[in-house]
A = this chain, B = another copy of it.
Amino acid sequence: MRDFLPEDKARRERVLAVIRDRYRAHGFDEIETPVMEEYSRLHAGIGGDNEKLAYNVLKRGLDADAIAAAAGDPSQLTDLGLRYDLTVPLARFYATHRGQLPSVFRSIQIAPVWRAERPQKGRYRQFVQCDIDIIGDASSRAEAELIVATLDTLDALGLAGGSVRINDRRVLDWMLDSFGFDAAERPGVLITIDKLDKIGPAGVAAELRERGAAAQSVDAFESFLTRPMTMEYHPFGERQIRKLLPDAAPTDIVDHLVGIGEAVAASRPGIDGQPTEVPLVFDPFLVRGMGYYTGTIFELAHPSVDYSLGGGGRYDGMIGRFLGQDVPAAGFSIGFERIVDLVAAAQDDAPQAVVLVHDRDIPAGELLAHKAALVGGGARVRLETRTKNLKALLERAAADGYTAFATVSTGIPAGEVDLKPLA
């Protein structure tokens, strides 16, 4: 867990303000839930591996007997935990407040989550997630709205050129079925397929054999992975999707993906209305870890980095578990901690940021009158007592985003200080 000093904190808040603004422009509404949820809800099997990483809060008022009795079952020591994602709280929120929300509810959640990860570079135990979700729309328009809002937000952050890798869990399921993997072995097979980028087709086949997957299925799958392909290019759409899948992929799933592409394309017209490249890439081997996805899955890519900047998908089953009634849902989460490092520190939004360097013995009233006059005129103002090393003082102020300075001594009328630009 980290402290944020002023420069970092200012950058984080500016990035969050852009994200919030763009998501709101796209018709999403921000909500907030408490950081603590009930232990039983956090450990209902929806959170996958994250459940094991949850911080649990000690029950209050435990006496010696209660503690001793919990020796065999530590879960008796806790009734609340810190959320490890924003999806479980959203499902609980929607089930609670559904009657007060629009029939298609587009939510924004921008908030910290906690996971007791082993400390390593780029992993934090407290980090901010930026999620948008659409609850109540089963059509491909939902995915398109999520993708367009996310790419528009990247653009607004100065990260134009983003794209989305996309697949569908049902494609994976159908494909594995068509190669003869039975339902029981498919979760294990998916874990191996997820490594395709790293270990290649031969590596995948070898690992599947090691796992004891049916030999005939592995052979069929390997020969599909290594089949010769024509190199002609197709933009995202039915031809590209069908080319990358075994023959006879189910039409309804392909149509859903094609529908997303068409809606995204319509939302991002080129200059003078010319068609532009659809920023979608069909990847039939994209898996994504969470068990709750039921349909489309996607990951956010940007040419400046070789890792994903976010992801999401459709999870039509989850809300129903809290509500006792199926409700379609899809979400897209931006990896805020990854993105904030890529964004150049935006300009301070104050029109002018002024350091007033003053003599130690100037009367406080005079000094604060100068400050008030500048603040009243729209500036951001920091007071600094003059030190021997004025240069170092001004350099630090410039690093903190200050753009001008004045030296003041007693007797100058308020509002008449002489501002000089900070180099």
Which residues of A are interface residues toward B (Cβ below 8 A)?
Answer: 1-6, 9-10, 12-13, 17, 20, 24-27, 29-36, 55-58, 60, 62, 64-65, 67-68, 70-72, 74, 77-78, 80, 82, 93, 96-97, 100-104, 106, 112, 114, 116, 125-126, 139-141, 144-145, 148, 152, 259, 262-269, 350, 363-369, 371-372, 375, 378-385, 387, 396, 400, 414
User: In the assembled complex, which residues on chain B have CB atoms less than 8 Å from the CB atom of A114?
Assistant: 35-36
Q: Is the CB of A13 within 8 A of B26?
A: no
Report the minimum CB–CB distance from A61 to chain B (whole Å). Answer: 9
Q: Is the CB of B262 within 8 A of A141?
A: no
28 contacts between A and B (CB under 8 A): A2-B34, A3-B32, A4-B33, A6-B30, A6-B101, A17-B17, A24-B350, A24-B380, A25-B375, A25-B381, A27-B383, A36-B114, A36-B126, A57-B82, A64-B71, A67-B67, A104-B384, A139-B364, A144-B364, A144-B368, A262-B365, A263-B365, A264-B368, A265-B365, A266-B366, A266-B414, A267-B365, A269-B372
Given A34-B1, A64-B71, A126-B34, A152 and B262 contact (CB-CB distance below 8 Å): no
User: In the assembled complex, which residues on chain B have CB atoms less than 8 Å from the CB atom of A33?
Assistant: 3-4
User: In the assembled complex, which residues on chain B have CB atoms less than 8 Å from the CB atom of A17?
Assistant: 17
Report the minimum CB–CB distance from A46 to chain B (whole Å). Answer: 18
Beyond the given A266-B368, A266-B414, could you list 12 further A-B residue pairs with CB under 8 A, ordered by the A residue number? Answer: A3-B34, A3-B97, A5-B101, A25-B375, A34-B126, A35-B112, A36-B55, A57-B57, A67-B77, A102-B400, A145-B368, A266-B369
Given A31-B5, A57-B57, A58-B57, A364 and B268 contact (CB-CB distance below 8 Å): no
> Whole-angstrom distance between the alpha carbons of A114 and B36 in the complex?
10
Kindly identify which residue among B9, B20, B25, B379 contacts A31, using a CB–CB cutoff of 8 Å: B9
Given A34-B3, A35-B112, A96-B3, A10 and B26 contact (CB-CB distance below 8 Å): no
Copies in the complex: 2
Kindly identify which residue among B6, B25, B372 contacts A148, using a CB–CB cutoff of 8 Å: B372
User: In the assembled complex, which residues on chain B have CB atoms less than 8 Å from the CB atom of A268?
Assistant: 372
> Whole-angstrom distance between the alpha carbons of A101 and B34 in the complex?
32
User: In the assembled complex, which residues on chain B have CB atoms less than 8 Å from the CB atom of A13?
Assistant: 20, 30
Q: Is the CB of B64 within 8 A of A77?
A: no
Output the nearest chain B residue to A17 by Cβ-Cβ distance. B17
User: In the assembled complex, which residues on chain B have CB atoms less than 8 Å from the CB atom of A20?
Assistant: 13
> Whole-angstrom distance between the alpha carbons of A105 and B352 in the complex?
20
Q: Is the CB of B35 within 8 A of A126?
A: yes
Given A30-B6, A64-B71, A369 and B267 contact (CB-CB distance below 8 Å): yes
Q: Is the CB of B4 within 8 A of A31?
A: yes
> Whole-angstrom distance between the alpha carbons of A259 and B67 in the complex?
56
User: In the assembled complex, which residues on chain B have CB atoms less than 8 Å from the CB atom of A56?
Assistant: 57-58
